[in-house]
Amino acid sequence: MKKEMRIGRILIYIILGIGAVLCFFPFYWMLRTSVVTSSYIFSTDIQLLPPVLKLDNFKRALTSQPFGKYFLNSICVTITGGFGAVLSSSLCAYGFSRIDWPGRDKIFGLLMTALMLPTAVLIIPHFIGWSYLKLTDTFVPLVLPAYFGGGLFNIFLLRQFYMGIPKELDEAAYIDGASTFKIYSSIILPLSKQSLIVVGLFTYLSNWNMFLEPMIYINSEKKFTLMLGLNQFIGSYAAEWNLMMAATTVVIVPSILIYLFAQKYFIEGIVMTGLKS
């Protein structure tokens, strides 16, 4: 029996190892492409380790475009939008989970059906609305919507967690004279730290990697985000793939670092949110 368990464990490790290699390989290939010449990228002589490393590709990539400005723009959009998403989605989730009002569950179910709408369906009406308000070529269309709900998925995620918090805590607070907002700020938010971090991480990754919305609304190069800046390496007739991969490697570093430092809260939040109902 012990031998069978040992063999089973070895097989699991082998499968996990193969999966890890498959997941890591695209990152490795991106790094490999970032340190070779353009001609070597299309060479038929494929080698896992290139014979010559062109480390100056990183310097060329980051100086060929004003990536410092792009970085600040992305930071602005990510932080302001992320704060709004966490704040507004937590408030909406609180209203859908801890406050009883007529038609609450039916309206929540109706809102959840909107998750099935493809993004492409909403592009034109959103653009017409922002154009009518003369707010195109600004960061407002990228940031302001986060303060009006924060995203249906975020609301769903937090609502599921809030519903697992005992209602007796609210009732005890009401008896002590606490208001609805006091219960939200002093009881619900401190108990849902992990879930809020999960929502913050999801929002950060979404805002940091956002490409479609900036491409639609932003016209001025000085307002480009990092994703639009990376797109500048694609010309009309050719693309500088090695420089693009070098810049992309630098761009994804903040996401990797944030995940490494926050993975504990990320995993705990996902597990706790999935268990509560």
Helix, strand or coil for residue 207?
Answer: helix
Q: Kindly indicate the confidence band of residue 77, based on its pLDDT and cuts at 50, 70 and 90.
A: very high
Q: Kindly indicate the confidence band of residue 18, based on its pLDDT and cuts at 50, 70 and 90.
A: very high
pLDDT at 75: 93
> In the numeric block, which tokens belong to residue 241?
């793939």
Q: Tell me if 255 sits within 8 A of 208, measured CB to CB.
A: yes
> In the numeric block, which tokens belong to residue 274?
């999935």
Mean pLDDT of the chain: 85
The backbone torsions φ and ψ at residue 179, rounded to the nearest 5 degrees and listed phi first, read -85, 170
The CA dihedral of 220, 226, 230, 231, to the nearest 10 degrees, is -40
Least confident range from 38-47, 197-206, 260-269: namely 260-269
pLDDT at 276: 46
Measured in whole angstroms, how far is the alpha carbon of residue 177 from the centre of its chain?
39
pLDDT at 70: 92
pLDDT at 277: 45
Residues with Cβ within 8 Å of residue 254, at least 6 apart in sequence: 208
**pLDDT greater at residue 19 or residue 265:** 19
Nearest CA-CA partner of 76 in 142, 32, 14, 148: 142
Between the alpha carbon of residue 21 and those of residues 9, 166, 256, the distances in Å are 18, 43, 17
For the chain, the maximum distance between any two Cα atoms, rounded to a whole number of angstroms, is 76
**pLDDT greater at residue 199 or residue 239:** 199
Helix, strand or coil for residue 208?
Answer: helix
> In the numeric block, which tokens belong to residue 121?
């369906």
The 8-class DSSP code of residue 188 comes to I
Least confident range from 32-46, 135-149, 199-213: namely 32-46
Q: What's the predicted TM-score (pTM) here?
A: 0.82
Q: Tell me if 65 sits within 8 A of 229, measured CB to CB.
A: yes
Residues with Cβ within 8 Å of residue 83, at least 6 apart in sequence: 146
The answer on pLDDT for 63 being more than 60 is: yes
The CA dihedral of 218, 221, 224, 228, to the nearest 10 degrees, is 90
pLDDT at 164: 84
- CA atoms within 13 A of residue 190's CA, in its CB half-sphere: 6
Segment 142-169 shows an average pLDDT of 89
Q: Which residue has the tokens 């967690």?
A: 161
The answer on pLDDT for 122 being more than 50 is: yes
**How many other C-beta atoms can be found within 10 angstroms of the C-beta atom of residue 108?**
18
